[in-house]
Amino acid sequence: MSFVPSSRPLRVALVTSSYNFIADGVALTLNRLVAWLESHGVEVLIFAPTARTPAFAHEGAVVPVPSLPLPARPEYRLALGMASHVKRQLLDFKPDIIHIAVPDLLGHAALGLGKRHGIPVVASYHTRYETYLKHYWYLAPLEGLLKRILRRFYGACREVYLPSDSTRAALLADGLADNFKPWPRGIDMTRFAPDKRSPAWRARHGIGADELVILHVSRLVREKRLDTLTDALGRITVPHRVVIVGDGPDRDFAQAALPHAIFAGFLGGEELASAYASSDIFVFPSDSESFGNVTLEAMASGLPCVCADATGSRSLVVPGETGFLVDADDPAGFADKISALAADCALRQRMGQAARMRALTFSWDETMARMLGYYKALLAGAAP
């Protein structure tokens, strides 16, 4: 029987390859989780690669693990397993649960350590890494091997927390064991809201008061389907402006394809909220998401969304009500739906209002409380 001694708080060792060196969706979600857990009396120790200059001020205490810049993608870091001194620090912490966020060398090392020492190991699923491979010809032949590795890894965890029903369906279709529990994401409805629309923000970017703005927010990498995005936007004939928020190694490709677009770079805080609310249509053709935080942020900001008919977006966008879903390989289909919204102000307003109402059902506080409930229920249950 697993239990937490009444004399001390619950302790969680969080093991992840993305925490503070880049502000991606995984890192931001995990930082929010750590902050919430610590505010509710849970002791958390994070084991993660670090960089000389963090991308943002992280939550909690981080134990650096050996890592190298990822070949061809140096903005990410490859954790080199778990060194002996890191293992000692994890065991000295005496965690009640090991929570793994990325199934890489570090995650596999943490899984093995937990198994050897009788520590329950759980995992949260954040990214459909197997979908990335098709965008890199030299990695595409490894898709079958990667799927087998993921089946073994997640199958060995006590529980796996998924952000959406569409992700669960996709993983079951890939043959993964059904040890899944839902862990959706939330949204700050005060921060992301239609009332953040800003004529001043538009004016700073040279956008007229009556101009239609089509927005895309993501890291500018090929797996976000920049090919479909640029092709689709190049087909739009209705007068419009394009705003791209984000940056990445494929920015040059996007800028060459969309020479008249506004590339705002990475935005955060009120600038990001204003970018959403000051736009009119949100477009997101990525088919590699397990949830799609940016889509939910756009919905909360009152934007109709045209997204890939894929995991993540499929659990957020209600076709014909809050936006449209289109095959990620169909730029003409994206262009058609974007054009329909661009030509119909009443349709945009109706869908934008419905999107905002749907976003209201996603609560960060409820989401984080659910995770703590999972931890406690697992520790209170029978040992495997």
Complete DSSP assignment for 84-132 = HHHHHHHHHH--SEEEE---SHHHHHHHHHHHHHT--EEEE--B-GGGT
Task: Say how many CA atoms lie within 13 Å of 276 toward its Cβ.
Answer: 32
- Percent of the chain whose predicted confidence (pLDDT) is above 90: 76
pLDDT for residue 196 = 97
What is the C-alpha separation between 67 and 49, in angstroms, rounded? Answer: 6
- Percent of the chain whose predicted confidence (pLDDT) is above 70: 93
pLDDT for residue 122 = 98
More confident residue, 300 or 311: 300
pLDDT for residue 25 = 83
137-141, 161-165, 202-206: segment of lowest average pLDDT: 137-141
Average pLDDT, the chain: 92
Q: Among residues 284, 287, 291, 305, which one has the least CA distance to residue 216?
A: 284
Residue 319 DSSP code? B
What is the C-alpha separation between 68 and 204, in angstroms, rounded? Answer: 39
Measured in Å, how far apart are the chain's first and last C-alpha atoms? 9
pLDDT for residue 21 = 87
What is the C-alpha separation between 188 and 193, in angstroms, rounded? Answer: 9
Helices (H) and strands (E) in the chain, counts: 13, 15
pLDDT for residue 53 = 86
Residue 298 has pLDDT above 60, yes or no: yes
3-class DSSP state of 350 = helix
pLDDT for residue 90 = 98
Query: Domain ranges in the chain?
Result: 11-186+363-380, 194-359
Tell me the β-bridge partners of 97: 12
3-class DSSP state of 147 = helix
Homologous superfamily, domain 11-186+363-380 = Glycogen Phosphorylase B; (3.40.50.2000)
Complete DSSP assignment for 19-47 = SSSS--HHHHHHHHHHHHHHHTT-EEEEE
Query: Could you tell me the pLDDT band of residue 8, with boundaries at 50, 70 and 90?
Result: confident
> 363: exposed, middle or buried (C-beta count within 10 Å: 0-12, 13-18, 19+)?
middle
Homologous superfamily, domain 194-359 = Glycogen Phosphorylase B; (3.40.50.2000)
**Domains 11-186+363-380 and 194-359 belong to one CATH topology:** yes
Return the residue matching tokens 């890494």. Answer: 129
Complete DSSP assignment for 235-291 = T--SS-EEEEEB--TTHHHHHHH-TTSEEEE---HHHHHHHHHT-SEEEE--S-BSS
